[in-house]
Amino acid sequence: MLTQLLPPRIDASKMTIIPHKISLIIFGLLLLSVVACSPLVVLDAGHEPSHPGALATCGKQEMDYNDAVVTILAGALGDYRVLLTRPAQAEVAADVKGLSAYLSQEAQLKWPHRKTLFARAALANKNKADVFISIHHDSTAGLWQINNPALCGGKGGKNLAAAFKQKYQVGFNIFINDNKVEPCRSLSLEIAQLIAKRLIAIGRVAADHHLDDCKSCHSIDSRLGIWHQDLAVLREAAMPAILIEVGNIVDPDDEAIISASEFRQQFAQIIRAALAEYFAASHPRRQTTEHAYSACVFL
């Protein structure tokens, strides 16, 4: 019968509700897919309360500088999924069961003695991060540090010897693992270059004192301040990895620049812009977490 072929009656009152619900579901699914596919950036605040790093001009610990930058940077990278290797003012949670399995055999042997160092890379590997960024602040060998009673509001502090500043440039450095067998070498260098160019453009200076005080370092690009050093976190990270020395905290001039909140915001935006350019590059293996993780293996 003809009447049986007609579509069932539709309740007009529900017509406005159903499309709205469907659009919400579609929007939710799209949002989930965007979030799921957005790259995972691991931010590693160097050092920790048990090993707080170098002391600055007025005695402040390097860890505090690293934590301040990472906190701002994490907020600026809202386009990405962000994983911190440790919360601010806290130790790295190295006692995650099975975590050492995400390291090389050599690192697994050293694991019991250097857990909180290796755990940083292991956490990135376990979570299949796309990029690993370690944040540090540089210091200088003790022989170049001079006590100055006029510093730090008259309480006294340390500054760099005049001879040091005549001999070397004071500023930032970016380290990568430039080992010939490092599969992520070229991508790590690309990220370092994208960041360094932007830092130079805002007037930051590439430091060069590691020419003389770091035997295991070599310069990759002196103009951009990019160096190799065989650092555990860079060697063990299974994805493009860089370590940034934001500036020199024993030089009162540089310390004043890099500890200003305006600079830290600017620094965070530089990292954000550099990562945006990196991930926008045409290589399809960078576009999703799953593919990007294996990018270094295939390139």
Written as six digits, the tokens of 136 are 């540090």
**247 contacts Zn ion (rule: CB under 5 A):** no
Q: Which of residues 41-100 bind Zn ion (CB under 5 A)?
A: 46, 53
For residue 188, the minimal CB distance to Zn ion (Å) is 18
| DSSP alpha helix (H) spans, the chain | 2-5, 12-15, 17-37, 62-76, 105-110, 115-126, 162-167, 185-201, 210-213, 232-236, 252-258, 261-280, 289-298
* R_g (Cα) of the chain, nearest Å: 24
For residue 83, the minimal CB distance to Zn ion (Å) is 20
Q: How many residues bind Zn ion (CB under 5 A)?
A: 3
Distance CA(88)–CA(72), nearest Å, equals 11
Written as six digits, the tokens of 40 are 């995972």
Nearer to Zn ion, 136 or 209 (CB): 136
For residue 62, the minimal CB distance to Zn ion (Å) is 5
**Residues forming beta bridges with residue 211, ordered by sequence position:** none
For residue 213, the minimal CB distance to Zn ion (Å) is 14
- Length in residues, the chain: 299
Nearer to Zn ion, 38 or 173 (CB): 173
Nearer to Zn ion, 231 or 292 (CB): 231
For residue 17, the minimal CB distance to Zn ion (Å) is 58
Nearer to Zn ion, 53 or 157 (CB): 53
**136 contacts Zn ion (rule: CB under 5 A):** yes
For residue 141, the minimal CB distance to Zn ion (Å) is 14
Using CB under 5 A, which of the segments 38-46, 68-76, 119-127, 267-275 binds Zn ion? 38-46
Nearer to Zn ion, 53 or 247 (CB): 53
Alpha-carbon dihedral 260, 242, 137, 48, rounded to 10 degrees: 110
Contact indicator for 184, 241 with CB cutoff of 8 Å: yes
Using CB under 5 A, which of the segments 75-83, 90-98, 133-141, 146-154 binds Zn ion? 133-141
Using CB under 5 A, which of the segments 114-122, 130-138, 166-174, 263-271 binds Zn ion? 130-138
Nearer to Zn ion, 48 or 130 (CB): 48
Between the alpha carbon of residue 129 and those of residues 126, 145, 265, 275, 283, the distances in Å are 8, 38, 24, 13, 17
Q: Which residue is nearest to Zn ion (CB)?
A: 136
Contact indicator for 160, 145 with CB cutoff of 8 Å: yes
Q: In what order do the strands lie in the sheet with 226-229?
A: 81-84, 40-45, 131-138, 241-248, 173-176, 226-229, 217-221
User: Under the rule (CB under 5 A), what is the footprint of Zn ion?
Assistant: 46, 53, 136
